[in-house]
Every structure is written in structure tokens, then in C-alpha cells.
């Protein structure tokens, strides 16, 4: 969208216009009051193809493994900068490898017609998956749905029936090789209907990742975020987790080994599900703040070793309605201070024994 200037006779006219359902001007001038108002353009990344932006020279690789099935993959296309789209059809016998040479600032857009990127055939025990790796640092942005729906990705918000949809997408062989992402801040994961393990291990082992994408879904599925950021040792800020109803193993190992993480995302759910928080923050050695609103008594069934290896001191904000008192790796970390918000949100402080 191009920048544009709009003139208004009065400030009241300006306010009325800006409150409407219109395309907002970048610069507005109110003639009567001689006022100038700026409205910076905010780019809508949800309308962009999934894009990898190179931060240095190197090679970006996409690999389809061979698994003897065509039910997971059909094709993948890429376009570098203003070039033409290059399409590769999936070869189930030999798999495919796509290598794109890049230099600093190059943008590579991707689209595909695919079902999922991690497919397990229970009848043959074959596992087929597709993933991105690189030998250079990159940022990722745009709408991840272009990898499934090709040109028709806009407004797609459901992963129903697509088990393992983006599992391991940026991580080969459980993080042994990975896409060297620095920022995923502008990556759009728009799905509000999730599927089993749909984002499982997506960034597993991405040690250069500092900024995660938003996770808007409030209805979860089993294993949906398990291992998603496991081993992301540079991640400093966790994405918000707005869901108030949990699913089995939904957050298992989600942030395990995130050694730079100091503050956990707020956990608003009051009722726990089987293994929902199991090993969630294991090995997060800098983590010193958790706010968790669950009233279910934590134990190995729900929170197995979820805070094993966190900082030796910290603050745990606990639901004032919670009657449980569990300390250690399955509950409140030993040595941490408990804060219990009262009705007016003013916390009372009680040292954890």
C-alpha cells in the first residue's frame, strides 16, 4: 500500500474519518487547527507468502524425504526476490532437495500444495517429512499457510485433520540440523483450529532464534505445541499462550532447554490435562518468574519435572483459589517466593517452604 496524505477542514472531521471503516491515511493535516497527524503503515504479513529473509550469504535448503507415499506432499515452489516461481513436484521414490543460494537481504518466498510436513504411515511404519535448513542466519515472515494451500492461503485458519502439519518444519532430525532463524516475529501462524502435533518440534534446536511468532489459538489439540521451542537457547521472550482449556500433552517440552528465557508466558488455564505441562520448562536455567492459574493439584500426571533446572530463586504467582501446596520439580520450584493475587490483584507474599 502506498503512503498518502489526506486533508481535513477541522480536527472533528479528522476524528470522525479515522474512526470509520476506511483505509487510513499515513499523514493527515487538519487545516483549521494546522495540525499534522501521522499514522504509520503497518504491514499485514498474513497476506504474504511464507518468506525466508537472508541475513548473510549461504544456502537455504528444503528437503522432502522419501517415504513411499504421496498423501503428505504434492509440490513446493519458491521465488527469489523478483524472479520467477520455480516448482518441484514431489518424488516419493527418491525424495527431493531444493537448494537456494542467497546473499544478505535476499527474500525467498515459498508456496506449496501439501497436506502435512510430518507424515507417519501406520500401515507401513514409514515416516515422511519436509523441512527447511540453512548454513546462514535468516529471518522468517509471512503466512505459513502458503506451504499448504499455494496461492489460496489467505484467510485459512484451520488445520483440522492435518496431524503433524508443520511438525519439525525448521528442524531436521530433532534439531541436529536446522534453519538458522534469528527472528520469527513476523511469521504468521493463523490457525485457530489445531490438529495433533501440528506445531510439534517446529523450531526444535533453533539455537539462534530470539523472537517467536504469536500463537493465537485458544482451542488446543493433543501435542499441538510439544517440543515447539525445545533447545532454543537464544529465545528471550516466550509467546503468549491464551488458551484456558488444555489438551493432553499440549505444552510438553515446549520450552525445555531455553536457557535465555527469564519469564514464562502466563498460564491462565485453571484445570490441567494429562501431561499438559510435562517438562515444559525443564532446563530453563534463567527462568525466574511463572504465573500459573491452575487449581488442579500438580503431580507427575500433569506437571512431571516441568520446572526441573530453573533458576534457584524466583517468583511463582499462584491462583488465590488454589488449595494445593506442592514444591519441587513437579510444583513450585524450591526456594522461590509465592505470590497469591487477591481480589484486587494486589499480591500477598509468602515464602515457599
Work out the average pLDDT over 209-238: 97
Which H/E stretch holds residue 315? strand 315-318
Note the pLDDT of residue 211.
96
Note the pLDDT of residue 72.
80
Q: Which of 142, 153, 80 is nearest to 114 (CA)?
A: 153
Side-chain half-sphere of 82: how many Cα atoms within 13 Å? 0
Of the chain, the percentage scoring pLDDT greater than 90 comes to 71
**What pTM does this model have?**
0.85
Q: Where does the pLDDT of residue 330 fall: very low under 50, low under 70, confident under 90, or very high at 90 and above? A: very high
For Cα atoms 256, 257, 258, give the angle at the middle one, nearest 5 degrees.
95
- How far is Cα 127 from Cα 122, in angstroms, rounded to an integer? 9
Q: Locate all alpha helices (DSSP H) within 94-234, ordered by sequence.
A: 146-149
- Is 309 buried (19+), middle (13-18) or exposed (0-12) by CB count in 10 A? middle
Grid coordinates representing 318? 499462584
Grid coordinates representing 275? 501431561
Grid coordinates representing 79? 521465488
User: Are 223 and 250 within 8 A, CB to CB?
Assistant: yes
- How far is Cα 296 from Cα 314, in angstroms, rounded to an integer? 22
Q: How do the domains of the chain map onto residue ranges?
A: 5-38, 44-196+205-221, 236-353
User: Is the Cα torsion angle 90, 94, 95, 96 positive or negative in sign?
Assistant: negative
Work out the average pLDDT over 313-334: 97
Note the pLDDT of residue 39.
67
Q: Where does the pLDDT of residue 73 fall: very low under 50, low under 70, confident under 90, or very high at 90 and above? A: confident
Pairing of strands 289-292, 137-143: unpaired
User: Are 251 and 224 within 8 A, CB to CB?
Assistant: no
Block residue for cell numbers 512431571:
304
User: Is the Cα torsion angle 147, 150, 155, 158 positive or negative in sign?
Assistant: negative
Other CB atoms closer than 10 Å to residue 99's CB: what's the count?
9
Lowest mean pLDDT among 58-67, 186-195, 209-218, 271-280: 58-67
Q: For the chain, what is the mean pLDDT?
A: 88
Work out the average pLDDT over 73-93: 91
Evaluate if residue 203 carries a pLDDT over 70.
yes
Lowest mean pLDDT among 124-128, 175-179, 266-270: 124-128
Q: Where does the pLDDT of residue 96 fall: very low under 50, low under 70, confident under 90, or very high at 90 and above? A: confident
Work out the average pLDDT over 319-331: 96
- How far is Cα 353 from Cα 351, in angstroms, rounded to an integer? 6
Evaluate if residue 133 carries a pLDDT over 70.
yes
Evaluate if residue 238 carries a pLDDT over 60.
yes
Tell which wins on pLDDT, 270 or 21: 270
Q: Where does the pLDDT of residue 38 fall: very low under 50, low under 70, confident under 90, or very high at 90 and above? A: low
Q: Which of 176, 163, 239, 237 is nearest to 204 (CA)?
A: 176
Q: Where does the pLDDT of residue 139 fall: very low under 50, low under 70, confident under 90, or very high at 90 and above? A: very high
Evaluate if residue 1 carries a pLDDT over 50.
no
Work out the average pLDDT over 69-78: 81
Amino acid at each position: 500500500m502506498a503512503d498518502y496524505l489526506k486533508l481535513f477542514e477541522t480536527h472533528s472531521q479528522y476524528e470522525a474519518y479515522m474512526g470509520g471503516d476506511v483505509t487510513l491515511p499515513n499523514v493527515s493535516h487538519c487545516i483549521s487547527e494546522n495540525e499534522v497527524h501521522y499514522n504509520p503503515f503497518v504491514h499485514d504479513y498474513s497476506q504474504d507468502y511464507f518468506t525466508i529473509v537472508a541475513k548473510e550469504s549461504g544456502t537455504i535448503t528444503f528437503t522432502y524425504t522419501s517415504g513411499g507415499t504421496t498423501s503428505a506432499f504434492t509440490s513446493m515452489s519458491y521465488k527469489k526476490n523478483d524472479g520467477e516461481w520455480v516448482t518441484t513436484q514431489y518424488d516419493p521414490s527418491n525424495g527431493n532437495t531444493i537448494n537456494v543460494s542467497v546473499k544478505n537481504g535476499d527474500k525467498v518466498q515459498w508456496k506449496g500444495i501439501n497436506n502435512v510436513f510430518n507424515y507417519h504411515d501406520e500401515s507401513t511404519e514409514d515416516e515422511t517429512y519436509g523441512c527447511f535448513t540453512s548454513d546462514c542466519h535468516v529471518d522468517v515472515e509471512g503466512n505459513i499457510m502458503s506451504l499448504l494451500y499455494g496461492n489460496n492461503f489467505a484467510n485459512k485458519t484451520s488445520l483440522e485433520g492435518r496431524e503433524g502439519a508443520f511438525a519439525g518444519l525448521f528442524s531436521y532430525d530433532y534439531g541436529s540440523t536446522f534453519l538458522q532463524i534469528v527472528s520469527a516475529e513476523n511469521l504468521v501462524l493463523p490457525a485457530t483450529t489445531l490438529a495433533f502435533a501440528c506445531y510439534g518440534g517446529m523450531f526444535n534446536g533453533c539455537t539462534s532464534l530470539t523472537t517467536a511468532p504469536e500463537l493465537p489459538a485458544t482451542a488446543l489439540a493433543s501435542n499441538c505445541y510439544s517440543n515447539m521451542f525445545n533447545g532454543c537457547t537464544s529465545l528471550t521472550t516466550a509467546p503468549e499462550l491464551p488458551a484456558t482449556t488444555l489438551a493432553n500433552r499440549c505444552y510438553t517440552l515446549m520450552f525445555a532447554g531455553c536457557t535465555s528465557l527469564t519469564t514464562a508466558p502466563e498460564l491462565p488455564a485453571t484445570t490441567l490435562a494429562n501431561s499438559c505441562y510435562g517438562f515444559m520448562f525443564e532446563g530453563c536455567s534463567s527462568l525466574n518468574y511463572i504465573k500459573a492459574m491452575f487449581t488442579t493439584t500438580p503431580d507427575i500426571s500433569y506437571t512431571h519435572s516441568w520446572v526441573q533446572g530453573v533458576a534457584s530463586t524466583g517468583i511463582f504467582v499462584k491462583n488465590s483459589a488454589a488449595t494445593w501446596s506442592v514444591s519441587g520439580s513437579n510444583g513450585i520450584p524450591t526456594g522461590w517466593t509465592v505470590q497469591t493475587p487477591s481480589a484486587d490483584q494486589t499480591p500477598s507474599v509468602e515464602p515457599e517452604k
